[in-house]
A = this chain, B = another copy of it.
Amino acid sequence: MRIHVINPNSTASMTAQIAHAAEAARAEGTVIEAVTSIGGPASIEGYSDEAMAVPAMLAAIRSAEARGASAHVIACFDDPGLAAAREVASGPVIGICQAAVQVAVTVAARFSVITTLPRSVPVIEDLIAHYGAAARCRRVRAVDLPVLALEANPATARTRLLAEARAALREDGVDAIVLGCAGMAELCDWLSRETGVPVIDGVTAAVKLAEALAGGGFRTSKVGAYAFPRDKTGDQVGAAGPAR
């Protein structure tokens, strides 16, 4: 089984870190194909970064499908272009936010998310609500560090992440923490040991769910909203018949 893990931003060192987490998570026999999206923004911190990242990401997904990928993981916690990716793929497509949420509601009654920048808080809140987990997510918190500073300033990142995690346990009454950025993956085990609760990294969660879905033979429905994009040749001269 080949799992295509796409980093939708263009920072190769971040892809390397994602690949490392994915390799650590994969089952025997799974091949991880970690790819940096060429031409995307250096990091994804908000809606326009997401938007700028998606076209190249869709191309990468099409290309990975052609090379025989069994499933795709979008390794950015905003799940940019997730629905669009499902449209162009026939294998299952897993967003790391949705994956982390599915794991969190399975192993904990209540969780909080810790992300990078405050501006991402409403983005992630809306995602979680869209995934139907608003009632189980107590709060989305931010360490107030840019995505790339996680890597550049690891000591600061650790200090702030631990402080927010402890605040979540103390104030939010949660049983688990979800890491709200792909770039936090390598801090997962450490933070779990420090806090004594499950800490869920979306990259790990997504790789495991990708293996699960591909292994179970589940594929994206090609009827309805996730059907392949229509070929529009001839639309303008216009056959009036049904378009489905």
A181 to B71, CA, bound (A): 27
List, sorted by A's number, 5 A–B pairs whose CB atoms are closer than 8 Å.
A11-B236, A145-B242, A145-B243, A174-B224, A208-B213
Inter-chain contacts of A238 with B (CB < 8 A): 146, 148-149, 151-153
Given A126-B130, A146-B230, does the pair A107, B152 have CB atoms closer than 8 Å? Answer: no
Q: B109 touching A225 by the CB < 8 A rule?
A: yes
Per-residue B-contact encoding for A153-166, CB less than 8 Å = 1, 0 else: 10011000000000
Q: Report if A180 contacts B (CB, 8 A).
A: no
Q: Give the top 5 A-B pairs by smallest Cβ distance, nearest first.
A: A132-B132, A152-B238, A175-B224, A109-B225, A208-B212
Determine how close the nearest CB of chain B comes to the CB of A161; give it in whole angstroms: 12
Chain A positions 133-153 with a Cβ under 8 Å from a chain B Cβ: 133-136, 144-149, 151-153
Q: A230 touching B81 by the CB < 8 A rule?
A: no
Q: B48 touching A87 by the CB < 8 A rule?
A: yes
Q: Report if A187 contacts B (CB, 8 A).
A: no
CB < 8 Å neighbour of A109 from B107, B122, B144: B122
Q: Report if A205 contacts B (CB, 8 A).
A: yes
Chain A positions 205-232 with a Cβ under 8 Å from a chain B Cβ: 205, 207-209, 211-213, 215-221, 223-227, 229-230, 232
Q: A235 touching B146 by the CB < 8 A rule?
A: yes
Q: A224 touching B28 by the CB < 8 A rule?
A: no
Copy tally for this chain in the complex stands at 6
Determine how close the nearest CB of chain B comes to the CB of A153; give it in whole angstroms: 4
Per-residue B-contact encoding for A10-30, CB less than 8 Å = 1, 0 else: 010100000000000101110
Inter-chain contacts of A83 with B (CB < 8 A): 47, 109, 123
Q: Report if A67 contacts B (CB, 8 A).
A: no
A44 to B240, CA, bound (A): 17
Determine how close the nearest CB of chain B comes to the CB of A124; give it in whole angstroms: 10
CB < 8 Å neighbour of A220 from B107, B134, B221, B237: B107
Inter-chain contacts of A193 with B (CB < 8 A): none
Inter-chain contacts of A102 with B (CB < 8 A): 102
Given A27-B27, A133-B132, A209-B212, does the pair A240, B145 have CB atoms closer than 8 Å? Answer: yes
Inter-chain contacts of A152 with B (CB < 8 A): 235-238, 240
Q: B208 touching A223 by the CB < 8 A rule?
A: no
Inter-chain contacts of A129 with B (CB < 8 A): 135
